[in-house]
Structure 1
Amino acid sequence: MSPDVIDLSGAAPRLPADVMTRFHDHLAKAASEPRLWSEPAKFGDPLLREQLAARHGRRPDEVCVTAGVRSAALIYGRTAHHVHLERPTFEGLVPALTVAGAALSRWTWDEPPAVDRTRDAGGTVLVWATSPCRNPDGRTLTREQYRTLARLGSRPDTTVVVNRTYAIGPPDDLPDGLDLVGGLHKTWGIGARIGFAIGNGFATRAVTDLAAWAPSAIWQRAWGGFLADPHYDEAAARIRGDALRAVRAFADEAGPADAEASGSPHLLLDRPPGWTGAAFARALAAVGVKVSPGTAFGASAHQVRLSFTGVTERQARAAGGRLAELGILERRPPEHAS
């Protein structure tokens, strides 16, 4: 493998030094508040809940602070009898959602999940989707698809959860009746360990769990202060913008017809004709480009997932050039071609 490996398998975001300095200031301020050392925040720090609510168009009293999406999935999954999980999606959710023995069905966005069939079997039903910019394919639910999910969520004993991990800013016209989950580590790295669940019934499910493993009150207040910082949104947009510019740089250089930038920090590429997905990944590895198998995200074994978080434009352009030099993908025709 080439010594200068370009990691497109999901590297950690690159945090600017000025942003780290600002966060350190908020952490120091939180650590100096005596009350935070002695009083638990039952459902999350009030300031953090307020900031998360504002970014997702909900009320602060609907927000519970978690340690991330999978910790919320554990709670939802423990009380569900049947789980409808989208495909493709991050497959690490499967053990979390089925930890208590829930039956698992998979559905695609092209056809709504068969909720009525599983409701007839008895027990509670959970439906899970990721939008916007779903990992791995970058798709975002349409308004009609959101409305369809909201109608499902309005039925007795059915909860619909939308994972908004990749959202930036408040949602546009998101219908009522949907629970929302997400986390900050896709923007700031896994060290953030801050997530959320927003829904009327989640707090009742989560009381014991939040007391056991929710992030510390000091850490939550630091992040609440950071989110309230006037520079936070600019910094988050800068980090996301770096990833999107890297996607465009890769697509411009590589030129495959299915490597269009879609506003998502990741791409799903089909293997070349006559190749397996594994052989495609090995060919990329041989020229120093590390990618993830599509099967890790419930996609086809003939696909690979590319992530551009933590990747510079220079690195992305170099990776695209290495792929182009392999000469194994059909290149996109020039824009001026007829």
Structure 2
Amino acid sequence: MLDLTGPPRPWPQALVRRFGAAHDRALERPDRWGTPPPHGDPALLERLAELFGAPLGRTVVTGGVRQFAGGWAGRTRTALVERPGFADIGLVLAGVAAVRALPWEELPGAARGSAERVTVWVTSPYRNPDGRSLDAAGRAALTELARAGHHVVVNQVYRWFAPPEELPPGCWGVTSLAKLCGGGSRLGWATVPDEDTVPPTLRGSGPATVWQRAWAGFLDRPTLASLYRSCVEPTLESRQIFTDRLGELLGWEFTGGGMSLLLSWRGAAEEQVLATLAEQELMVGPGSAFDADRGSVRLAFSGIDTAGAVLAADRVARLAAGAAGALAPVR
């Protein structure tokens, strides 16, 4: 069975040992169980600034994107979230807000049509599931919404798979190490528009002091380079080989990038598509997990190598040939 559900890639053992040593050093400090400062441990904040350009004074350490969404929920009475996108974000925000899921192109008009300030949530670059990134017009529209007083949150959790992308001016940014190091890393950070806009629900929301210090002692440029070689580059290569192969076999064209893409089987129920792909020994993600259209499935490439990508493409091509054009990429 080829796993296209997006499991994390394993670290090299040398990095596992290095993290263990950093964790041990953090445990040796006498204040290891002290409460983290409101914005996060200073050593970690400095490391994030050094490696990723996270601005000191405007960066808040969090437990990840979902945890940020939980702390954000309730800031506005209405939240406009992207569609498709990770459906759990809308569910988290819906606990204390009215949530509407809309395509990117409809979000600005919906925000401008609101009588009060709203939250607008998008993911870029290379959003899950379809790999789209904001273009210049989309970035300008978000900037205008922020200037008009709306809260615009840009989830940059897939930044590891793309060239550097600056936040649109006035927007909030949120990211994590989940797609680089694995979801169990439970470490992320938010970038706020100015130093006076950190809501109380986000202050002190980062993980334990010892965990923050372990990561601060672990992350450096050689470590990042090793993580890219081991976890990012193989995923990008597998996706590229998959899309190239289907281009050769079927003439399909894929837009976007990153670690995932979206396929749609016109007229079929999601359960049917999942079962049919499973018969070809392909495990994929359900489109409903990303608020995608009926008959859609997400393919993510962190769980296969290049040989597996070729096999997966051949099996999809075989299904598409028998589907009379009903199976196609979502662009």
Question: Do they fold alike, i.e. is TM over 0.5?
Answer: yes
1:21 partnered with 2:17: yes
Q: Is the contact made by 1:48 and 1:223 (CA closer than 8 Å) also made in structure 2?
A: yes
Query: Which residue identity lines up with residue 21 of structure 1 in the other structure?
Result: R
2:91 corresponds to: 95
1:299 to 292, 299, 303: 292
Q: SS where residue 181 of structure 1 aligns?
A: strand
1:269 partnered with 2:260: no
CA distance in 1, matches of 2:304, 2:255: 15
Map Cα deviations across residues 105-159 of structure 1 (whole Å, 9 max, x no partner): 22222234321322x1x4x411101000100000010123112101111223x21
CA distance in 2, matches of 1:280, 1:33: 53
Of the structure 1 ranges 273-282 and 71-80, higher mean CA displacement relative to structure 2 is found in: 273-282
1:163 partnered with 2:159: no
2:82 corresponds to: 86
How far the C-alpha of 1:312 sits from its partner, in A, is 1.7
How far the C-alpha of 1:218 sits from its partner, in A, is 0.9
1:226 partnered with 2:221: no
TM-score relative to the length of structure 2: 0.87
User: What value does the CA root-mean-square deviation take over the aligned residues?
Assistant: 2.4
Q: Is the contact made by 2:11 and 2:227 (CA closer than 8 Å) also made in structure 1?
A: no
Structure 1 residues 328 and 220: alpha-carbon distance in aligned structure 2, compared to 1, 3 A threshold: farther
Map Cα deviations across residues 218-243 of structure 1 (whole Å, 9 max, x no partner): 1111112222x221221232211110
1:46 partnered with 2:46: no
1:128 corresponds to: 121
How far the C-alpha of 1:9 sits from its partner, in A, is 1.4
2:106 corresponds to: 111
How far the C-alpha of 1:292 sits from its partner, in A, is 1.4
1:242 partnered with 2:234: yes
Map Cα deviations across residues 60-87 of structure 1 (whole Å, 9 max, x no partner): 2111111110111112222211101011
CA distance in 1, matches of 2:187, 2:24: 18
- Any gaps of 5 or more consecutive residues in structure 2? 326-331
CA distance in 2, matches of 1:185, 1:170: 18
1:205 corresponds to: 200
Q: Is the contact made by 1:293 and 1:305 (CA closer than 8 Å) also made in structure 2?
A: yes
How far the C-alpha of 1:55 sits from its partner, in A, is 5.2
2:328 corresponds to: none
1:74 to 70, 88, 105: 70
Structure 1 residues 252 and 172: alpha-carbon distance in aligned structure 2, compared to 1, 3 A threshold: closer
Query: Which residue identity lines up with residue 101 of structure 2 in the other structure?
Result: R
CA distance in 2, matches of 1:141, 1:39: 38
Of the structure 1 ranges 168-177 and 29-38, higher mean CA displacement relative to structure 2 is found in: 168-177
Q: Is the contact made by 1:251 and 1:261 (CA closer than 8 Å) also made in structure 2?
A: no
Q: SS where residue 23 of structure 2 aligns?
A: helix
CA distance in 2, matches of 1:294, 1:69: 20
1:145 to 122, 128, 138: 138
Q: SS where residue 78 of structure 1 aligns?
A: coil
CA distance in 2, matches of 1:127, 1:190: 24
Q: SS where residue 42 of structure 1 aligns?
A: coil
- Any gaps of 5 or more consecutive residues in structure 1? 332-338
Q: SS where residue 140 of structure 1 aligns?
A: coil
Q: What is the percent sequence identity of the aligned residues?
A: 33
Structure 1 residues 152 and 116: alpha-carbon distance in aligned structure 2, compared to 1, 3 A threshold: same
1:154 corresponds to: 147
TM-score relative to the length of structure 1: 0.85
1:7 partnered with 2:3: yes
Aligned residues between the structures: 317
How far the C-alpha of 1:314 sits from its partner, in A, is 2.2
Structure 1 residues 321 and 303: alpha-carbon distance in aligned structure 2, compared to 1, 3 A threshold: same
CA distance in 2, matches of 1:226, 1:319: 36
